[in-house]
């Protein structure tokens, strides 16, 4: 078997085309959505991701506000930028690119953000709203994965999903989204403390691999026909992405999200969705 492709690039392009029309409507109503990014340090991957986010904004007509700080920036300097974006009327939504340099209290930075401007859905208030089933901006990678599966007709309802990883951007929120009534999946969350990862993976109809361990998921770990989404972004000595999924998995799985070209573009597309939805909410509130 050779797996079908969960094409994140093409799906993200379709979402961006829809958003372009919504941004034009907002502008006609006098509201220009603006995405702010806070990038601290010189991690090449983070610089690439942030640059990609601003390229996307330009494509759909969202204004860009970029704040960059050196790797030596203090907690207070980063928090000052967050306070500034909270107050900036041109910035309708923003993100703090993660990870922040060692020694910075990430949770304190996220907690300081205005939850109404949190374009990543990572503010504690918005994560709490997700737990309570209330409307909130959704964490970009988990929401992007669900859209990618849906748009390719992969059944989530009743599926057994194994999520590998427990990080704040993917592993923790992913099961919260998948177990909503609208998705209705059964989720097993695995991590470095899982005793027999292969045994867990072999039960899965859908695998989300977000551990950051190169080629962790091997062909023999995958149930024939399963959908496998690779979210790992380790890099080799030439800076090339090495995912969490062994390339041989494509011979066993029914669907694979390539890496690059799968989940990454969907993460960026969902960010734009969150920015546009926040601007639409602000416009509706202003109209009374
Ligand atoms: N504040 C946040 N920080 C981070 C998040 C996040 O959602 N919010 N997620 C990841 C990184 N990330 C988004 O910021 C991200 C990862 C990958 C891509 C992407 O488009 N990847 C391309 C390949 C690009 C390359 O060649 O390096 C692809 O997969 O095709 C976009 C965003 C951690 N931090």
Asked, colleague to colleague, whether 30-125 and 140-264 share their fold, the answer is yes
Say how far apart CA 155 and CA 205 lie, in whole Å.
9
Task: Evaluate whether 90 touches 65 at the Cβ level (below 8 Å).
Answer: yes
Q: How far is the CA of 270 from the centre of ligand 1 (A)?
A: 11
Q: Is the CB of 169 under 6 A from ligand 1?
A: yes
The phi and psi torsions of 17 (rounded to 5 degrees) equal -65, -40
Q: Is the CB of 98 under 6 A from ligand 1?
A: yes
What is the fold of 140-264?
Rossmann fold (3.40.50)
Say how far apart CA 241 and CA 238 lie, in whole Å.
9
Question: CA triplet 202, 204, 207: central angle to 5 degrees?
Answer: 105
Q: How far is the CA of 29 from the centre of ligand 1 (A)?
A: 32
Report how many helices (DSSP H) and strands (DSSP E) the chain contains, helices first: 9, 11
Domain boundaries, the chain: 30-125, 140-264
Q: Which CATH architecture has domain 30-125?
A: 3-Layer(aba) Sandwich (3.40)
Other C-beta atoms closer than 10 Å to the C-beta of 24 total 12
Strands 186-190 and 34-40 come out as unpaired
Pocket test for ligand 1, best of 16, 142, 264, 266 (most atoms within 8 A of CB): 264
Matching residue, tokens 């992913």 = 174
Instruction: Say which residues have a Cβ less than 8 Å from residue 160's Cβ, sequence separation at least 6.
Output: 185, 186, 187, 188, 203, 204, 205, 206
Q: What pLDDT is stored for residue 45 in this prediction?
A: 92
Say how far apart CA 91 and CA 38 lie, in whole Å.
12
Is 172 marked as binding a ligand? no
Q: Is the CB of 213 under 6 A from ligand 1?
A: no
pLDDT tens digit at each of 288 positions of the chain: 699 999 999 999 999 999 999 999 999 999 999 999 999 999 999 999 999 999 999 999 999 999 999 999 999 999 999 999 999 999 999 999 999 999 999 999 999 999 999 999 999 999 999 999 999 999 999 999 999 999 999 999 999 999 999 999 999 999 999 999 999 999 999 999 999 999 999 999 999 999 999 999 999 999 999 999 999 999 999 889 999 999 999 999 999 999 999 999 999 999 999 999 999 988 888 887
Q: Please state, in angstroms and as integers, the Cα–Cα distance from residue 46 to each residue in 41, 51, 101, following that order.
A: 9, 8, 11
Atom 18 (ligand 1) nearest CA: 264
Say how far apart CA 90 and CA 62 lie, in whole Å.
11
Q: Is the CB of 168 under 6 A from ligand 1?
A: no
3 state DSSP class of 287? coil
Atom 26 (ligand 1) nearest CA: 260
Q: Is the CB of 95 under 6 A from ligand 1?
A: yes
The model carries a pTM of 0.97
Say how far apart CA 80 and CA 236 lie, in whole Å.
35
Which ligand 1 atom sits nearest the alpha carbon of residue 99?
A: 34
Q: Is the CB of 38 under 6 A from ligand 1?
A: no
Task: Evaluate whether 245 touches 256 at the Cβ level (below 8 Å).
Answer: yes
Q: What pLDDT is stored for residue 25 in this prediction?
A: 96
Q: How far is the CA of 128 from the centre of ligand 1 (A)?
A: 23
Is 161 marked as binding a ligand? no
Say how far apart CA 165 and CA 47 lie, in whole Å.
23
Kindly provide the ipTM of the predicted complex, given to two decimals: 0.98
Is 233 marked as binding a ligand? yes
């Amino acid at each position: 078997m050779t797996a079908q492709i969960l094409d994140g690039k093409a799906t993200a392009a379709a979402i961006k085309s829809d958003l372009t029309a919504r941004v034009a409507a907002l502008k006609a109503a006098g509201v220009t959505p603006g995405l702010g990014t806070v990038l601290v340090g010189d991690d090449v991957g983070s610089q690439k991701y942030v640059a990609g986010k601003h390229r996307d904004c330009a494509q759909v007509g969202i204004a860009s506000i970029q704040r960059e700080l050196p790797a030596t920036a203090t907690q207070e300097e980063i928090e000052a930028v967050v306070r500034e974006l909270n107050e900036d009327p041109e910035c309708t939504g923003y993100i703090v690119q993660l990870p922040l340099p060692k020694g910075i209290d990430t949770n304190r930075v996220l907690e300081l953000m205005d939850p109404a401007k949190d374009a990543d859905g990572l503010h504690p208030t918005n994560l709490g709203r997700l737990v309570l089933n209330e409307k909130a901006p959704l964490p970009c990678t988990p929401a992007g994965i669900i859209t990618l599966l849906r748009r390719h007709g992969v059944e989530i309802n009743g599926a057994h999903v194994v999520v590998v990883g427990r990080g704040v951007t993917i592993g923790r929120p992913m099961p919260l989204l998948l177990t909503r009534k609208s998705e209705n999946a059964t989720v097993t969350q695995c991590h470095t403390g899982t005793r027999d990862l292969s045994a867990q993976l072999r039960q899965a109809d859908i695998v989300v691999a977000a551990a950051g361990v190169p080629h962790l998921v091997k062909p023999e770990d995958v149930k024939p026909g399963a959908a496998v989404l690779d979210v790992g972004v380790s890099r080799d000595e030439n800076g090339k992405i090495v995912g969490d999924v062994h390339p041989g998995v494509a011979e066993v799985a029914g669907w694979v999200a390539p890496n690059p070209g799968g989940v990454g573009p969907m993460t960026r597309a969902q960010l734009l969705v969150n920015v546009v939805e926040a601007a639409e909410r602000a416009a509706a509130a202003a109209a009374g």
